[in-house]
Amino acid sequence: MGRIVVIGAGIAGLCTAVYAQSCGYQIEIVEQHNTAGGLATSWRRGDYTFETCLHWLVGSNPYGTMHAQWQEVFDIDKLTFVYPEEFVRLEDEKGESLGIYANVDRLEAELLQRAPQDAVEIRRLTSAIRRFAKFPIPDPSEPWPRRARALLRVLPDLPLLRKWSRLSIQEYGKRFTASCCEISSGTAKWGGSPRSPWSSPSLG
């Protein structure tokens, strides 16, 4: 069997090396840093820890599809995951803040309490979150018949997925009237609102 040189010992490079080695290739990994992990690393300087690592991981759920794929490359079950109730808190220069909760029911209740005038759009957003939370991640390693069946299961969701993926934050932010919702959708730079300093390129 041949030999493969992998450039970079980040997550992608390490996974590539694991799968290539399992197929019988001789592997050499080239990394410019003295520690493997790429962006999934942190370092200390004095009393401070600089955390550039990922703050969330798709596949932490033992019953999810991605969990089994992570088990193929490392012992994910030895990790301890932290599931904070508040995924992120957004605050503007005036001290106004909005909690974005991981639980979609609590998120919906918080948004409706803060912006009842945007109830229709809030419920549309949380409905999409609930629907996409059940969206299966395709496994390209599965046999074609199984992939075909998986594709058939997601066909009803594809039009909605296409609709959301083509919607920019700038366009989406204009659907809300309350400032707290503008904070949560990041419309200051993309939508032109002076009340929110956060931005993101798209919802997809």
Residue-range definition of the domain harbouring residue 183: 84-204
The pLDDT of residue 103 is above 60: yes
Query: Could you report the per-residue pLDDT of 104-155, keeping only the tens digit for each?
Result: 999 999 999 888 999 999 999 999 999 888 777 767 677 888 878 877 888 8
Confidence of residue 176 (pLDDT cuts 50, 70, 90): confident
**Is residue 173 classed exposed, middle or buried when 0-12, 13-18 and 19+ CB atoms within 10 A define those classes?**
buried
Q: How much is the mean pLDDT over the chain?
A: 81
pLDDT band at 203 (very low <50, low <70, confident <90, very high): very low
**Residue that wins the pLDDT comparison between 127 and 84:** 127
Say how many CA atoms lie within 13 Å of 178 toward its Cβ: 19
Quick check: is 167 in a domain? Answer: yes
Please report whether residue 170 resides in a domain.
yes
Evaluate whether residue 1 is within a structural domain: no
